[in-house]
Structure 1
Amino acid sequence: MTTSWFILFILTLIIIYHHVIYSAVMVWYGRHLKRKITTVEPNSFPAVAIIIPAYNEEEHINDKLANLLMLDYPADKLFIFICCDGCSDETANICRQWESQFQRANIHFQLQISTSNKGKLARLNQLMTMAQPYADLVALSDVSALISIDALKQAIYSFNDPKVGAITGNYLIYNGNTGEQQYWSWQNNMRFAESHLGSVIGGNGAFYIMRTRLFQPLPNDTINDDFMLPMQVLKQGYNVIYNECINSIELDVSSNEENHQRRQRIGAGNLQQLIRCRFVFNLHQPGVKWLFASGKGLRTLMPFIFIVYLGLTLSLASEGSLLALWLTGLQLTGYGLAALPLIGIKNKFLDKLHYLIGGYLSSLIGMVRYIFGQFKHGWKSQPPIHHYQNTSTLILKRFFDIVLSFIGLLLTLPLWSFIALLIRLDSKGDIFYRQVRVGQINDEHIMLFSMLKFRTMLPNAEAESGAVWSRKNDPRITRIGRFLRDTRLDELPQFINVIKGDMSLIGPRPERPELCGCLQNALPFYLERTRGLRPGVTGLAQVNQGYDSCIEDVKSKIAWDHAYAVALASPLQWLRMDCCILLKTAYIMVTRRGQ
């Protein structure tokens, strides 16, 4: 118990240090630093290349090209390189229409059009290689971000210092919510403070500029290139500074789903960065080490720290500690307040708290995905799968999947050995049955996973027949297997699939890949039932129908599955639906109405 309290004390200090001492002091310091605005033009203008990988950017590409055309910089020293990375919209055609205007302005404009989508990182490495012979400095900027007209001249002034290797600036959001606006206001002040205390840790994809000769191609699995490239500069002994006179304005208004996905990507990238940027602690710059550890390092680890903290206080509270009980209540109250905007209760404080806690949750999901190898090929910009699925619902759904599955696993584990004994006494063969099933479908791939169940059939039941539907009084089912199916106890091992992320507690039934091809040909929109949605241990179709015995059964189940997907549009509607399904599942198990 003493050890638990000691760990809790240390974690409390870390949480207070990161959020109150370090972050608050850095924000305050950044706000009170004197701004330096220069209007003195440099004696000479080095060649500058601006590189832009673009994927389906027809909404903002006109604004971006107009912004580049109006930059206050000598035209003969400016080079624009754009790559359309397998665009399926009008981005490439719009870029072609602007070529003549850049030519008339005497600005070098080079457009690369590729029919395949290789991702931002591959195109960035390609464009950087193309730009190196032309320019001394290279700037990277997102299509959806406009930069201030004098951004390049301000950058040139900062590069007069030979120790400066890269420069970033203010990141502003045109139409962000209260929490998002506040977060980036804090971040801008913290980066300003970092710049004065040692070096800015990382950059921002909206706009940053670096010395071309310092560029080194990034590994193909790099997630956050706008962080890793400035860190490469730092590794080579140069500083990354913040120029407060350079502004970039983000035009893109992200949906909740896009924002959730973006923050997952940032979370996964943060964990990757923490691993790959260990070189920081070998630099002879104590200030940079402190900034990296206190800022990016602790921010990355904070979701895990919060989980351990809650677990410790719950454990100590269960032993009768009033202080631990109070700390647990404080945490749960905070998480509850952060969730209120999900049901429409909003004010400035709740919006900021929701953005902070929601960001940590998204980051945690992204890091878990990275640990399980889901970012092996880096990050590709892809259009959202669904607009009807509420992001808040998906986050809450995954959270409850993990929590309830752990609880279910712990409560039912005593039954596992008893069930295993009955299976072994009833028939020869393995206790568990593993079968490949079709999981979640997204724009990139169809997920296949190995579903785990207690065995209910005779060994090698499908050796001769192949994949076939179950039928009434199926002779392949053992005596104990029939009982397990009636009570749905054969599904208990699937708690492991849920925790791993293969399945959800509630969702469409996972189908076998051998049957999916035939069903998709026979039934329109069959595969769409798990598009953007994990299959479930139980579900709306499962509690309203039994096992499939013919194609007509599958046809009626499709309607149930799509009806459940529509319920995800609203957190309250989803919660009511899931509660009803769980209660009905419990009723089926108790009354042995399963099939």
Structure 2
Amino acid sequence: MAWVWGALIVLAVLIIYHHLIYLPVMLLLSRWRSRQSTDTAVTAASGDWPKVAIVMCAYNESDYIEAKLANLISLDYPADKLHLYIACDGCSDDTAEKIRNWQPRLDAAGLQLTLIDAPDNRGKLYRLNQLMDLAREHETFAALTDVSALISIDALQQSVAAFADPAIGALTSQYLLATPQPGEAQYWAWQNQIRRSESALGNVMGGSGAFYIMRTALFRPLPHDTINDDFMLPMSIIEQGYQVLLNQAINSVEMAPTSDQQDQHRRERIGAGNLQQLIRCRFLLRPSLLTSAWIFMSGKGLRTLMPFILLLFLLLSFALALNGSLIATGLSIAQILGYSLALLPEIGVRAGVLVKLNYLVRGYAASLKGMVAYLCGQYRQGWQPAAALHLYQSLSTRILKRLSDLVLSTLGLLLTLPLWPLIALAIKLESPGPVFFRQLRVGQIHHHRVELFHMIKFRSMGQFAEKETGAVWASRQDPRVTRVGKFLRKTRLDELPQFLNVLRGDMSLIGPRPERPEFCGDLQNALPFYAERTAGLKPGITGLAQVNNGYDETLDDVKHKLLWDHAYSTALSSPFQWLMMDLRIIGKTAWIMMAGRGQ
């Protein structure tokens, strides 16, 4: 077990170094190499001010756009040297209309405006590249800022004065929150301190999306799958041999409050982005960038790897504890106690230290989830427009989904075969007719054709149930259903023969419910995007809609299930999302069968 102890010691050193040693050392070094040039007072005459582009991408920013425009008009910078570039990226609210309503006030202030009101949503990165291509043709500097963030009134003056140093390629600001969540204020206070120290040592590792400004000549369009553009764009400037510094005199204040769910999603995305950055910032290994490489690897690098390090440290501690080590047992208990304390704020214990510990652990957990999602394929295709649903599915997801269909359906068929004779006997004893019921259903929809197939089920109605009525929706108290049929439907045992449909490739284990052709035309006319529910996706024995809704009795029922079907389709963008979704559906289906809650 010597190698296990060696690995445990290495991991312990990394944990202690990142959390307890690196920051004090960096803070001490930054005081020795403090750079006063980033706080240089503005002394240039008004006629010497260069042209500055203010670049913003907006998506449904109606709540903040007017406050942002008022903030930009009030900036202490010659208006004739400013040009405002805004892209409304397929906004479905009145953001663009409010910008146009402000046009007279912008004109009165002498502020030029270029507005791209795009009807299609292409993503921030696409619009950012589009706006920067326009800005670098006419302006010397480009200030990139979020709509929901207010910036210091002298932000541009301070920035332009600092750019008198030709070595500086970009500047960023201190980031503040107007309404921070518990733990956020302390976190960003630390982050601002870290960024000030990084700046004093030569380069800030990334910028703040709320506000950073760069020389337009240094702009390089980012790859379409870039996750954290406000990090990678400043890093591309460092790669070109320029410095990226923080100006302590410039503040950016985030107005939008962050909910716990939004914070969790943001941190997951940052975690995925950090892993991507770790891969793409290999240029820091140049001898001329050794200080920046040390800052990056000790800070963001280890922060990226820390969730894996902490998890591996816990597992190795458990392994050694099970082998009888008292030291490892103590370490295991200490870790369990620490993580347990971090969970106390989740149940209402809001002590200050515990809140900070909770924020740290939750951050690592969200980062781990984001990185695992990235490794499984999520985020790698970049932002994609809303298109046909089958385009959301990665090739790996489609392969794994079909493989799981074959394995699980074969297993399900073998395990349930002993029940088939008993079910068949019960059906025959109650009513005459065949044991199995075959019905034409709509399968997967392709670009040029629609698949039709005969779905197989155990018969749950009388032999000629629809002879007089024709095709009608099932209801909760359907008189056509036999007593045996009611039991089969409640336990979902009537659907067991559909394992054969799955093995034949007509269906999937999980997917939208297959509908009869008689109903599809009317439903498509009544509900937009109804047909797209099986675009590139096979219908399923069970699915997200089936476990959340019963049989379709009204058009509203179909509408609700349609939303679930499209929600499931969007979960197929990566193997990780697909796996998590399918496991939840399988678990809920098993519970419905055992509880007899089917219909």
TM-score of the superposed pair, with normalisation by structure 1: 0.70
Provide the rounded CA distance (Å) in 2 between the counterparts of 1:526 and 1:365.
32
Where do 1:54-453 residues align within 5 Å?
A: 54-379=58-383, 449-450=401-402, 451-452=404-405, 453=408
Deviation at 1:336, TM superposition (A): 1.7
Relative to 1, partners in 2 of residues 1:447 and 1:174: Cα closer, same or farther, differing over 3 Å? farther
Deviation at 1:515, TM superposition (A): 4.2
Provide the rounded CA distance (Å) in 1 between the counterparts of 2:131 and 2:455.
53
Deviation at 1:28, TM superposition (A): 6.8
Answer whether contact 1:27 1:186 (CA < 8 A) is retained: no
SS state at 1:178 partner: coil
Deviation at 1:125, TM superposition (A): 0.2
Provide the rounded CA distance (Å) in 1 between the counterparts of 2:115 and 2:322.
64
Provide the rounded CA distance (Å) in 1 between the counterparts of 2:159 and 2:383.
29
Deviation at 1:37, TM superposition (A): 4.9
SS state at 1:285 partner: helix
Instruction: Determine the structure 2 residue equivalent to 1:470.
Output: 457
Instruction: Determine the structure 2 residue equivalent to 1:40.
Output: 42
Deviation at 1:514, TM superposition (A): 3.4
Answer whether contact 1:120 1:381 (CA < 8 A) is retained: no
Provide the rounded CA distance (Å) in 2 between the counterparts of 1:196 and 1:381.
41
Relative to 1, partners in 2 of residues 1:7 and 1:585: Cα closer, same or farther, differing over 3 Å? same
Provide the rounded CA distance (Å) in 2 between the counterparts of 1:592 and 1:61.
52
Provide the rounded CA distance (Å) in 1 between the counterparts of 2:242 and 2:292.
12
Provide the rounded CA distance (Å) in 1 between the counterparts of 2:204 and 2:238.
9
Deviation at 1:343, TM superposition (A): 1.8
Deviation at 1:208, TM superposition (A): 0.4
Deviation at 1:361, TM superposition (A): 1.1
SS state at 1:346 partner: coil
Answer whether contact 2:40 2:162 (CA < 8 A) is retained: no
Relative to 1, partners in 2 of residues 1:312 and 1:515: Cα closer, same or farther, differing over 3 Å? farther
Structure 2: tracts of 5 or more residues without a match: 418-435, 441-452, 462-491, 498-508, 534-539, 568-582
Q: Deviations over 1:388-428 (max 9, x none)?
A: xxxxxxxxxxxxxxxxxxxxxxxxxxxxxxxxxxxxxxxxx
Q: Give the paired residue count.
A: 483
Q: Deviations over 1:318-366 (max 9, x none)?
A: 1122221221222222222222222222122121111111111111111
Deviation at 1:4, TM superposition (A): 0.6
SS state at 1:165 partner: strand
Which protein has the larger Cα radius of gyration, Structure 1 or Structure 2?
Answer: 2
Q: Deviations over 1:258-290 (max 9, x none)?
A: 111111111111111111111111251221110
Output the amino acid matched with 1:148: S
Q: Deviations over 1:40-86 (max 9, x none)?
A: 32242111111001000001101100000000001111111001110
Relative to 1, partners in 2 of residues 1:583 and 1:178: Cα closer, same or farther, differing over 3 Å? closer
SS state at 2:288 partner: coil
Instruction: Determine the structure 2 residue equivalent to 1:2.
Output: 2
Answer whether contact 1:198 1:285 (CA < 8 A) is retained: no
Deviation at 1:27, TM superposition (A): 5.4
Do residues 23 (structure 1) and 30 (structure 2) align? no
Where do 1:494-505 residues align within 5 Å?
A: none
Output the amino acid matched with 2:19: H
Relative to 1, partners in 2 of residues 1:22 and 1:515: Cα closer, same or farther, differing over 3 Å? farther
Output the amino acid matched with 1:11: L
Output the amino acid matched with 1:468: M
Answer whether contact 1:31 1:189 (CA < 8 A) is retained: no
Relative to 1, partners in 2 of residues 1:62 and 1:586: Cα closer, same or farther, differing over 3 Å? closer
Output the amino acid matched with 1:471: F
Structure 1: tracts of 5 or more residues without a match: 383-436, 475-484, 491-508, 530-534, 566-577
Provide the rounded CA distance (Å) in 1 between the counterparts of 2:258 and 2:542.
32
Instruction: Determine the structure 1 residue equivalent to 2:13.
Output: 13
SS state at 1:68 partner: helix
Deviation at 1:454, TM superposition (A): 4.6
Relative to 1, partners in 2 of residues 1:136 and 1:538: Cα closer, same or farther, differing over 3 Å? closer
SS state at 2:125 partner: helix
Answer whether contact 1:30 1:190 (CA < 8 A) is retained: no
TM-score of the superposed pair, with normalisation by structure 2: 0.70
Relative to 1, partners in 2 of residues 1:587 and 1:82: Cα closer, same or farther, differing over 3 Å? closer
> Which deviates further from its counterpart, 462-471 or 53-62?
462-471
SS state at 2:207 partner: coil
> Which deviates further from its counterpart, 105-114 or 123-132?
105-114
Output the amino acid matched with 2:16: I
Deviation at 1:537, TM superposition (A): 9.8
Instruction: Determine the structure 2 residue equivalent to 1:413.
Output: none
Where do 1:482-561 residues align within 5 Å?
A: 510-512=510-512, 514-515=514-515, 521=523
